[in-house]
Amino acid sequence: MRELFEPKGEKSMWEIFYDCIKDVGIGTFLSYAKLKAMSGFDIQGDRGLVYRANKALLINHKKMLINVKNEGYTMARHPDQMKHAGFRKIRARRQLDKGKLEAIYCDTRKMSVDEKIWIANFVNHINSSLTMVRRKKVQAIKQTEKAVKTQVNGLKELDGIKAQLASIEKKLKI
């Protein structure tokens, strides 16, 4: 019997998908039907393997698949990669992490010095955005803790008032 998270065959689904798309040329449009024919997987039903294969493409080949809404994907390199990374910076922390990954793994060999400087500044901007998101999260946690402590203290005071009221009621009944 297979262990949890163990691939069904020799390779996991994302690795099979990755092997099918890793040699696709830059600028090539891949429709959902073509991807299904190439890999045998319904990409529209399960995008998880696309995301994992895309991460491997970024790291190993410095290129990525960019979604074309309701049509398929396009294979892209650094100009489109950076545009895509920029879209992510306005989203949540996880999106910031993905945007940073896309920016870091650009193929810088063919870039001008200005483009390289822009990428370095962009990565620094994402890092500062991540720091800000983390600070806001810590502040929210501290505010929640403070509110809970205030409620607990209020309940303790209420218990004290109830005890005083009970003792006054006993004295009045005597």
pLDDT computed for residue 83 by the predictor: 74
Rounded CA-CA distance 103/32 in Å is 26
Tokens encoding 154: 């209020």
Instruction: Look at residue 2 and tell me whether its pLDDT is greater than 60.
Output: no
Q: What pLDDT, in 10s, does the model give residues 74-104?
A: 888 877 777 777 666 656 667 777 777 877 7
Name the region of 61 (left: φ>0; alpha: ψ -120 to 50; beta: rest): alpha
Is the pLDDT score of 7 beyond 70? Answer: no
By CB neighbour count within 10 A (0-12 exposed, 13-18 middle, 19+ buried), where does 98 fall?
A: buried
Higher pLDDT among residues 10 and 50, named by residue = 50
The pLDDT value recorded for residue 162 is: 84
Mean pLDDT value across the chain: 81
Domains of the chain and CATH, by start: 1-76 (1.10.10)
**Phi, psi (deg, nearest 5) at residue 35:** -65, -40
pLDDT at 146: 82
Q: pLDDT by residue (tens digit) across 135-168?
A: 887 887 788 878 778 888 888 888 888 888 888 8
- CA pair distance 12, 18, nearest whole angstrom: 10
pLDDT at res. 29: 92
Q: What is the pTM of this model?
A: 0.54
Concatenated DSSP letters of 62-120: S-EEEEETTTEEEEE-HHHHHHHHHHHTTS-HHHHHHHHHHHHTS-GGGS-HHHHHHHH
Q: pLDDT tens-digit profile of 61-73?
A: 888 888 888 888 8
Q: Which amino acid is at 159?
A: D
